[in-house]
Amino acid sequence: MATGLKQILDYDDYAAIPPDGKRWELLEGDVHVTPAPSPQHQWSSRKLQRQLEDYFEGRGLGRVFNAPIDVILTPHDVVQPDLVVVTNLEQISARGIEGPPTLLVEVLSPSTVTYDRTTKSRRYAALGIPHLWFLDPAGRRLECFRLDGQTWRPVLEGDRNHTVEHPDWQGLAIRLGDLWM
């Protein structure tokens, strides 16, 4: 009989974590925790969510979810991105979003910028997330990437008060000026 601590955690271990107001995630079976987001972070996330809802839900193309929501990519990869766009509604379950959604948005905070841009983005690429966006409220900037193989390719960036149109979704125009406090 094996003894000792479990080295690689799975969804059942993750689901057993008691709620404490923090954001818990699993990447390749390793647990990560981040503090609650700032008001500026929440404001920008909510404003972008509304624009994404207007586009995806308004056109019947999918659903938009905000954190906290479990995105169960594998039994050992459970994340809570700030925003999630699901175009395959069969991925929505009682547990959360099952499998790679169409788009994940990470709103950058000083405490999470390195984790989001390196650890999470590499894992997202390896697991086949088609689109990844980084929204930086402090820098007033949006960066949009598309997966090409297992490499992120930039497809759009904008800053300050510009309006940017995403080339992969006709008519999706993000009014950046609305996103900043």
**Domains, the chain, ranges and CATH?**
11-179 (3.90.1570.10)
Q: Residues 6 or more apart from 176 whose CB is under 8 A from it?
A: 140, 142, 158, 159, 160, 161, 162, 163, 164
Predicted confidence (pLDDT) at residue 3 exceeds the cutoff of 70: no
The model's pLDDT over 112-161, given as tens digits with 9 standing for 90+, comes to 999 999 999 999 999 999 999 999 999 999 999 999 999 999 999 999 99
Cα separation of the two ends of the chain = 56
Rounded to two decimals, what is the model's pTM? 0.94
**Integer Cα distance of 147 and 129 in angstroms:** 7
Query: Which residue, among 52, 36, 82, 63, has the nearest Cα to 178 in the 3D structure?
Result: 52
The model's pLDDT over 83-94, given as tens digits with 9 standing for 90+, comes to 999 999 999 999
**Integer Cα distance of 155 and 144 in angstroms:** 6
Record the tokens describing residue 139, joined without a space.
């820098």
The model's pLDDT over 50-86, given as tens digits with 9 standing for 90+, comes to 999 999 999 999 999 999 999 999 999 999 999 999 9
